[in-house]
Structures are given as C-alpha cells and as structure tokens.
C-alpha cells in the first residue's frame, strides 16, 4: 500500500475537479486528483458549449482564460423559434453582459495543460475508488492504479466525480436529501464540421418537437432534436437527421443549414436532479455529483463552475486563516443558485418540448407563453438574466 498526504483529495478529473485544483493551487493549497478514466478519455469527451459571463470570469481569475479569449465566440443574444417564427432574446442589450460559446472539451484541455505545466499530482485510470471516515478530521481515499494500491489522507475530500461516481454514495442514503425528475425523451445530437446556420443559437419548438441549432466554432456545428430516449441510434442515419432538423427549425433557418457527415452522434437522456446534501462531514460535492439539469438552459457546466467558485473560496479561507464561514455556508449558498438554475432549465424544457401526456390545453398554454415572450420585453429580460448567469453570492458572508 502506497501512502500520500494532501490537503484536499479531489475525486474526479473533469472540469470541476481540474478547476478546483487550479484555484487551490493559486492559494498555495496542495491537492491530488483521482480520476477513473484515462487522461485522453477525459480530454476527448464532447459536452456543453455555452459559458455564462461569470464562468468566463472565473476561468480568467484561475489563469486559464486564454483559450476562451482567443477562440471563444461571444454572443450577445440567442433566438427562440416557434413553428418557424423567430424571436431574438438580446441578452447583452438587456443585461449588459454576454455569453461565450467555448466547448467544455476545450476548457478541460486548457485546465489539463495548466496542471501538466504545474506538475499537479493526478492519478488517472484509478479503480475501486473508496472514501473513508469522511465525518472525521482525517478522511482518506483508497484506490488501485495499475498494480499499486493507494491510500491518500486529506483534510477535506471534494467529490467532483459526476452523477454515477462514488462520492455521493459515500453519504448514507438516509442522510441524502435528493430530488429527481426524469423526462420522457432525450436529445439526439450530431456534431459535424460544417459552418453554423446562424451566428447565434436557436432554441426551437414545433409540432414535431424540440430542436437546437448550436456550434462549437465558426466551422463546427452542433445540432440536437428531441427524440424517444429508447430509439436505436441506427434508426437515425445522417440524412434523416438533417431532414428532421430542417423541418423543425423552419424554412428560413433550413435554407442556411449546411449538411455533412457526423463526427459524433449520440442520444442523451434528460433529467433534473439535486442532492441537497452537498456537505457531509469533510466531504463536499460539486458539479454533476450534486446536481443535473436538462441542457435546455445551458447550465450544466456553469453550475459546476459556480460550485467550484464557492468551494475554492471556502477552502482558501479555511487554510489561510482558519475561517470556517465558507465551509459552513457552502451548501446553503450553492443550493440557492442551483435551484434557480434548475427552475430556469425546467421552465425552458417544459416550454419547448412536446410531452407525450400533454393535452390540447397544455399545448395552447405553451403557445400563449411563447406569444407573450415574443411580445414582452419584461419576459425577455427575465430569460436574459437567467441565461447570462445570475450573480455569485459571497460564500464568506455571515
């Protein structure tokens, strides 16, 4: 058994864990990252692409904002579409802030590059990861990497290991407050090296269901359509998917869609989930380990950045001057932001998707809500404020 001592053991080497380690490093706090996948797998995962204004600022303060600044696409608005009608939500004009399209894959690569340069201790392809004694002052983590068994003792453990990771499971089920809604559909996505059909995103609803026109760069596009979550992927050859996208987005948008072979194609289920027990002793949950949102509101990565922003500040204050306010406030402060983002994502999902149990009245209500949004600056302002990102609270206050 090989042993190691650190201040913070971070379970999960995705963007949440990598960003937290980077922030701790800036404060002179030692950490170790433990990840079950290979580094190549982590850097190659295709994920979200819209970053809130505040998330970009967090990356800049962490010293990993150069990629966003050089290659990110700054958007001052996005479109809502209903049966071919378009309504632009001018988020910059309404809020004074913008969002940036920059793929989570690129964020992860930027963070990995910074950690390799700094020599951060990272254990990839770790198996049998187990958390121990998390309610004591000496929690530790055990795992196996290759032929070696490891025992890492820490002052704190940060669970940044996603929805199915071991961190949340280390909290006894009777002490976890969990809330979940599973949606009766998924998103079928296609990534292709073709120019986007529009300079900004389009969230569309139609009689055939939801569609999203998005991008990763000026030459790479990401499109989605609502589908049954159990549909075989082979039932959706590229030509059929492109035709369905054009139908749902409407003729004006369809005229500008360039088609091409799929670089990646997959079906993702949708769920809303919150584990309100984000702190258990010296274990803290962050990112997907604590919450999942439907991608409709573009909040997944941004919520993770928010958690890490709070947790990094809390741990920094603890180690710098034994200030426990942030550690004690973390769960309460983070949850306020999480539930507001859950509300926004749920609202957009309900507004733009076709639910199989909807009645005629429900569909009329959606139409009326969209008509109101299209004609009301007040409604558009509310959407803009949530989409661009709600402000961070001070986790050390109180």
How confident is the prediction for the chain on average, in pLDDT? 96
E strands present in 173-315? 178-192, 202-205, 211-215, 221-227, 262-275, 279-280, 283-285, 291-292
Q: Is residue 121 assigned to a domain?
A: yes
pLDDT digits (tens, 9 = 90+) for 339-351: 999 999 999 999 9
Cα 183 from Cα 321, distance rounded (Å): 45
User: Does the pLDDT value for residue 393 go beyond 90?
Assistant: yes
**Rounded Cα distance, 341 and 345, in Å:** 6
pLDDT bracket for residue 398 (50, 70, 90): low
pLDDT digits (tens, 9 = 90+) for 139-148: 999 999 999 9
Q: How confident is the model at residue 46 (pLDDT cuts 50, 70, 90)?
A: confident
Residue 395 lies in a domain: no
Asked if residue 55 and residue 25 are part of one domain, the reply reads yes
Per-residue confidence (pLDDT) for residue 49, from 0 to 100 = 83
In a domain, 224, yes or no: yes
pLDDT category of residue 230 using cuts at 50, 70 and 90? very high
Q: Are residues 154 and 302 in the same domain?
A: yes
Closest CA to 19 of 35, 33, 3, 4: 33
Domain boundary among 228, 252, 270: 270
Share of the chain above pLDDT 70, in %: 100
pLDDT tens digits, residue range 285-322?
999 999 999 999 999 999 999 999 999 999 999 999 99
Q: Would residue 70 count as lying in a domain?
A: yes
Q: What is the largest CA-CA distance in the chain?
A: 66
Are residues 347 and 243 part of one domain?
no
Question: Residue-wise over 99-109: b if at least 16 C-beta within 10 A, else e?
Answer: bbbbbbbbbbb
Q: CA of 64: how far to CAs of 18, 23, 108, in Å? A: 11, 10, 10
For residues 95 and 203, state if they share a domain: no
CB-CB contact of 105 with 116 (8 Å): no
What pLDDT band is residue 127 in, cutting at 50, 70 and 90? very high
Same domain, 117 and 152: yes
Q: pTM to 2 decimals? A: 0.95
Domain boundary pick from 245, 270, 295: 270
Q: Report whether pLDDT(47) > 80.
A: no
Query: 370 lies in a domain?
Result: yes
237, 270, 303 - which closes a domain: 270
CATH of the domain at 235: 3.30.9.10
Report how far residue 272's alpha carbon sits from residue 228's, in angstroms, rounded to the nearest whole number: 17
Same-domain pairing of 15 and 78? yes
Residues catalogued as catalytic: 75, 203, 295, 299, 387
Mean pLDDT throughout 44-65? 91
Residue pLDDT, tens place only, 180-191: 999 999 999 999
Q: Are residues 171 and 212 in the same domain?
A: no
Half-sphere exposure of 77 (CA within 13 A, CB side): 13
The reply to whether 343 and 247 lie within a common domain is no
| Structure confidence at residue 48 as a pLDDT band (50, 70, 90) | confident
296 CA to centre of own chain: 11
Coil, helix or strand for 264?
Answer: strand
If asked whether residues 343 and 213 sit together in one domain, one would say no
d(CA 335, CA 329): 10
Q: How many domains does the chain have?
A: 2
Identify whether residues 33 and 158 lie together within a single domain: yes
Residues 284 and 190 in one domain: no
Residue of 220, 332, 289, 209 whose CA lies nearest to 13: 289
CA angle 209, 210, 214 (to 5 degrees): 150
Task: Tell me if 398 is assigned to some domain.
Answer: no
User: Looking at residues 362-375, what average pLDDT do you find?
Assistant: 96
Neighbouring-strand partners of residue 141 = 131, 152
- The range of the structural domain enclosing residue 166 comes to 2-179+271-388
Tell whether 10 is covered by a domain: yes
Domain harbouring 170, CATH code? 3.50.50.60
β-bridge pairing 73-75 and 202-205: unpaired
Q: Do 238 and 366 belong together in one domain?
A: no
**Is residue 114 assigned to a domain?**
yes
């Amino acid at each position: 058994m090989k042993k190691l001592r650190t201040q913070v053991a971070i379970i999960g080497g995705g963007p949440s864990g990598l960003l937290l380690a980077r922030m701790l490093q800036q404060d002179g706090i030692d950490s170790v990252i433990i990840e079950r996948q290979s580094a190549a797998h982590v850097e190659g995962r295709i994920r979200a692409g819209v970053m809130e204004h505040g998330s970009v600022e967090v990356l800049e303060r962490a010293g990993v904002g150069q990629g966003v600044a050089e290659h990110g696409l700054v958007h001052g608005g996005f479109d809502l579409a209903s049966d071919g009608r378009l309504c632009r939500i001018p988020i910059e004009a309404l809020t004074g802030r913008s969002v940036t399209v920059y793929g989570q894959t690129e964020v992860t690569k930027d963070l990995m590059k910074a950690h390799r340069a700094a020599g951060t201790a990272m254990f990839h392809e770790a198996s049998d990861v187990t958390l121990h004694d998390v309610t004591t002052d000496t929690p530790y983590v055990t795992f196996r990497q290759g032929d070696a068994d490891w025992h890492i003792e820490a002052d704190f453990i940060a669970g940044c290991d996603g929805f199915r990771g071991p961190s949340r499971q280390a909290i006894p089920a009777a002490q976890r407050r969990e809330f979940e809604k599973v949606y009766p559909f998924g998103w079928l996505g296609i990534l292709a090296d073709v120019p986007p059909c529009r300079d900004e995103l389009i969230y569309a609803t139609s009689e055939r269901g939801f569609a999203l026109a998005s991008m990763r760069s000026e030459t790479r596009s990401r499109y989605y359509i609502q589908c049954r979550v159990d549909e075989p992927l082979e039932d959706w050859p590229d030509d059929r998917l492109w035709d369905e996208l054009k139908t749902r987005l409407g003729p004006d948008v369809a005229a500008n869609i360039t088609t091409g072979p799929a670089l990646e194609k997959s079906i993702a289920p949708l769920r809303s989930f919150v584990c309100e027990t984000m702190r258990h002793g010296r274990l803290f949950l962050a990112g997907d380990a604590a919450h999942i949102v439907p991608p409709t509101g573009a909040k997944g990565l941004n919520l993770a950045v928010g958690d890490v922003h709070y947790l990094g500040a809390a741990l920094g204050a603890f180690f710098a001057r034994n200030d426990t306010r942030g550690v004690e406030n973390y769960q309460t402060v983070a949850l306020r932001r999480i539930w507001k983002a859950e509300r926004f994502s749920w609202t957009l999902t309900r507004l733009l998707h076709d639910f199989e149990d909807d009645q005629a009245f429900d569909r009329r209500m959606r139409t009326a809500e969209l008509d109101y949004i299209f004609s009301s600056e007040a409604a558009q302002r509310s959407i803009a404020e949530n989409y661009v990102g709600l402000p961070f609270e001070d986790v050390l206050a109180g």
